[in-house]
Amino acid sequence: MSSFRFVDLFAGIGGFHATLGAVNGGTLAMASEIDAPAAAIYAQNWNEAPEGDIIPLTEETMAVPEHEVLSAGFPCQPFSKSGFQRGINEARGTLFFNILRILQERKPPVVMLENVRNLAGPRHRETWATIVRLMQEAGYKVSTRPTVFSPHFLPPELGGRPQIRDRVFIMATYVGDPERARALSPNEPLVPRAAVGKWNPDEWDIFKTPIGPEQRPLVQPDHEVVRIDEYRLSEADSYVIDVWADFVARLRNKGVSKLPGFPIWADEFVHLDSLEIGEDVPTWKADFLRKNATFYTEHRDVIDPWLRAHRNLQDLPASRRKLEWQAQSTEALRDTVMHLRPSGLRAKRPTYLPALVAITQTSILGARGRRISPREAARLQGLPDWFGFDGQRDALTYKQLGNGVNVGAASFMLRTHVEQDADLIAETSPATAQAILSAPRNPDEALAEPERLGRAA
C-alpha cells in the first residue's frame, strides 16, 4: 500500500525518482520532462512515461495530481530586478512560478528542489530572497539561507560518491499559515557544506573505494567496459599527455617534489633577465608571467632538453601547451585524473572527480589511458548498474547524467529534512514522515532491488 505519492518535475532521467522510489511506499503520481531523449530513458528505466510539461493547461486547470512530496530540479531563470517589488507577478513567466502554483493548489507536505550552486551566489541574492518569500507566502517553512552540498562529503555507506558536485537544495515543509511559515523558517542552511560525521573526503579512491549495491569501485576493470575502444584516447590526445608526462618525470628525476600550483605555460618560458611586461598588462597576468619566468629560470637545465626532445612543442596546439598541476604529491602524470580543457591539461589526484560536464571534458583515467565510461558516469550520480541507456548515443548519456541530480546527496537531504521536521510533516501526512524515516539510510540498499521501484530487473 502506498505511504505517499510523489511528483517528479523537470525529471531528467529520474535521479529524484531513484531517491523517492527507493523509500518503502513511495509511488510516482506524475513525472514531467520536456526533453524527448531524457524522457525516453526515464520511461525505459522507471516504466513510466513522463508528461511533456508540468502545466500544459489553462489558468483554471491543474494537471498535476494530488501528492505528498514534490521534487524538481528546476531551471533557474534570473528574476527581473525591476519586478522585485511587484509581489507574485515578479515570478510570473518563470518556471519557478509553475512550481509555486502547484504548491499553492496541491499543498504537498514536503518539497525538495535542486538547482545549480550559482543560485546561492551574490549575483542571485534577489532571486533567492524572492523564492524564499513566495514559498513562505504559500505556507512553507523554508530556510532563508541556501543549503549547498556535494556528494563527495558523504561517506560511501550513506550513498556518497567521489564527485565534487555542489548543488543548492531547497527543502520545505507545509505548515499552513504564512505568518507561521515565516516564524518557523530557520536562518541557517539545513546542513553545512562540509563532510558528514567523521568522513574525510580525501579518503576517496576512485580505483579502490567500494560503492553501490554491489560494493564495486567507481572505475570498472577494462574488460567490463562495453565498447572500450570508443573511450580510448586518440593519438593526438595521447601525444599531449606523453609530452607532459615526460615533463613531470624529468622534474621528479631532478628531485622536484612539489610542482607549481599556478598554470604552467610553455609559451611563456623566458629567463627572468629577459622578461618584459608591458604597462597595459593586467596585474593578474603580470603575476602569472613572472611566476612562469621564475620557474623556467630555476629549472631551465631540465626544461630546455625537454623542449628540444619534443620539437619545442610545435606539434601541440596552443591550448595544449599549458599544464595545470592540481595533483599535489602524485608522482607521475599517468597516475592522475586528467581533463583536456580549453585552458590546457589539468591533472588531479585520483580521489574524487569534478562535476560531470560535456563529453569533451569527460575525466581521463591516466592509469587506463581512457575516459570514464557511461557506466562509470552513472555510478558517479548514484545510479545502479541495472540502470540502462539502451540505444542512445553516449554524448546524450553524458549530457543527461551531467544535468541530473545525485541520488546520494538528494537522499541525504530528504532524510535530514524529514528528521528535523518530522512533527510538522506528521500534522498533514504522518505516513510520509514514517515511510521516509524507516527507509535505509543508504539508497544503494534499496536500489539493489529494482522491483521495489516498480521496475523489473
The average pLDDT across 79-98 equals: 51
The average pLDDT across 262-287 equals: 93
- Per residue in 424-455, pLDDT tens? 999 999 999 999 999 999 999 989 877 666 56
Q: Report how far residue 184's alpha carbon sits from residue 328's, in angstroms, rounded to the nearest whole number.
A: 45
14 — pLDDT class (breaks 50, 70, 90): very high
Phi, psi torsion values for 251, nearest 5 degrees: -65, -40
Per-residue cell: 353: 572527480
Q: pTM score > 0.75 for this model?
A: yes
User: What is the structure's pLDDT at 80?
Assistant: 36
Q: Could you identify the residue written with the cell 562529503?
A: 153
The average pLDDT across 114-122 equals: 85
- What is the separation of C-alpha 342 from the centre of its chain, rounded to a whole number of angstroms? 21
Is 370 a residue whose pLDDT tops 50? yes
How much of the chain, in percent, has pLDDT values that exceed 70? 91
User: What is the structure's pLDDT at 63?
Assistant: 82
Q: Could you identify the residue written with the cell 620557474?
A: 295
Among 20-24, 229-233, 312-316, 407-411, name the one with the lowest average pLDDT: 20-24
| Percentages of the chain per state (helix, strand, coil), in multiples of 5 | 45, 15, 40
113 — pLDDT class (breaks 50, 70, 90): very high
Q: Report how far residue 218's alpha carbon sits from residue 151's, in angstroms, rounded to the nearest whole number.
A: 14
Q: Are 368 and 224 in contact (CB under 8 A)?
A: no
Q: Report how far residue 372's alpha carbon sits from residue 365's, in angstroms, rounded to the nearest whole number.
A: 7
Among 14-18, 115-119, 204-208, name the one with the lowest average pLDDT: 115-119
Q: Report how far residue 63's alpha carbon sits from residue 58's, in angstroms, rounded to the nearest whole number.
A: 9
Is 93 a residue whose pLDDT tops 90? no
The average pLDDT across 157-186 equals: 97
- Per residue in 321-333, pLDDT tens? 999 999 998 999 9
Identify the three-state secondary structure at position 172.
Answer: strand
4-200+402-453: what fold?
Rossmann fold (3.40.50)
Among 89-103, 241-255, 340-354, 392-406, name the one with the lowest average pLDDT: 89-103
Characterise 215 by phi-psi region: left (phi > 0), alpha (psi -120 to 50), beta (else). Answer: left
213 — pLDDT class (breaks 50, 70, 90): confident
For the chain, what are the domain ranges?
Answer: 4-200+402-453, 227-372
Check if 76 is active-site.
Answer: yes
Is 337 a residue whose pLDDT tops 60? yes
User: What is the structure's pLDDT at 83?
Assistant: 39
User: What is the structure's pLDDT at 277?
Assistant: 92
Is 358 a residue whose pLDDT tops 60? no
H or E element, residue 432: helix 430-438
- 217 forms beta bridges with 210
Per-residue cell: 357: 560536464
- Per residue in 121-171, pLDDT tens? 888 788 889 899 999 999 999 999 999 999 999 999 999 999 999 999 999
User: What is the structure's pLDDT at 52?
Assistant: 83
Identify the three-state secondary structure at position 456.
Answer: coil
User: What is the structure's pLDDT at 118?
Assistant: 83
The average pLDDT across 189-213 equals: 95
Contact partners, residue 1, CB within 8 Å, separation at least 6: 25
User: What is the structure's pLDDT at 214?
Assistant: 85
97 — pLDDT class (breaks 50, 70, 90): confident
User: What is the structure's pLDDT at 76?
Assistant: 58
H or E element, residue 312: none
Is 185 a residue whose pLDDT tops 80? yes
Is 61 a residue whose pLDDT tops 70? no
Decide which of 215 and 184 is more confident.
184
User: What is the structure's pLDDT at 53?
Assistant: 74
User: What is the structure's pLDDT at 127?
Assistant: 84
Q: Report how far residue 76's alpha carbon sits from residue 114's, in angstroms, rounded to the nearest whole number.
A: 10
288 — pLDDT class (breaks 50, 70, 90): very high
From 7, 76, 111, 138, the catalytic residue: 76
